[in-house]
Structure 1
Amino acid sequence: MREDNGQVNPLGLYDLDRKIRPVGEAYRKLVAEWRDILPAESLCLGLV
């Protein structure tokens, strides 16, 4: 995951200044919208 080559990988939900990137905002929105739906309708939970 880490390579010491002096370059920073620009990917991730937040940048190095801990500012959320657009993809982080989209992920936050997705989690908020599905938070109550997934546990109630997850097939995995019914199999345990």
Structure 2
Amino acid sequence: MLTARESALILNIGVSTWWKGVKEGRFPTPIRFGRSTRWRRADIEALFAPAE
């Protein structure tokens, strides 16, 4: 499970750009654990996968 900062680092973008993309639906929906927000690594890696 990745934080917003870790997810943004993988994509080489800023954290504010990451959150904007999440809000616009361009990036995966987060999973919330109490007050923590995380993303599955597989969901982030799927952004790199070619469309079938």
Q: TM-score, length-normalised on structure 2?
A: 0.25
Greater share of strand: 2
Q: Find the structure with the greater CA-based Rg.
A: 1
- Higher RCO (CA 8 Å, separation ≥ 6 residues): 2
